[in-house]
Amino acid sequence: MILKPGVVPWFFTAKLGGCNVFLATAENKRNNPMAIHSNLNSCGNKLDNVWLKGETVVQKLRVAHLDYTLIARVYSAPPAEDKDAN
C-alpha cells in the first residue's frame, strides 16, 4: 500500500499475529512511503520463516517497485496459545 501522509498521516491494521510489516521509500517519492504486510508462514522453522518473509518482500520490490528500498521492519510475535480455550 502506497501511503500519502500529507492526506492521511496514520494507517491501522487488524490484530497481527506472526506478521511482519515493512516500510519502504523511494528517493523520487519521499512523500509516498510504502507499507507492506507479510504473513508468509510456509517454513516450519521460525527463524527460516522470518528470513523468508524478508526475502520475499525484497524480491517483489525488485520486480514491481525498483525505485523503493526497505527502511524498516516490524515483527509481531504470534499470540501464546490459550490453553483454557478448550
Q: What is the pLDDT of residues 7-64, one digit of tens each?
A: 988 888 877 777 888 999 988 877 889 998 887 677 777 788 888 888 888 888 888 8
Q: Which three cell numbers stand for residue 39?
A: 504473513
Phi-psi region of 80 (alpha: psi -120 to 50; beta: other; left: phi over 0): beta
Q: Examine residue 40 and state whether it is found in any structural domain, yes or no.
A: yes
pLDDT-based confidence at residue 81 (cuts at 50, 70, 90): low
In a domain, residue 6? The reply is: no
Residue 31 placed within a domain: yes
Quick check: is 5 in a domain? no
Buried b (16+ CB within 10 A) or exposed e, 30-65: eeebbebebebeeeeeeeeebebbbeebeeebeeee
Residue 7 belongs to a domain: no
Domain with 40, as residue range(s), is 20-75
Q: Is 33 within the bounds of a domain?
A: yes
When divided into structural domains, the chain yields a total of: 1
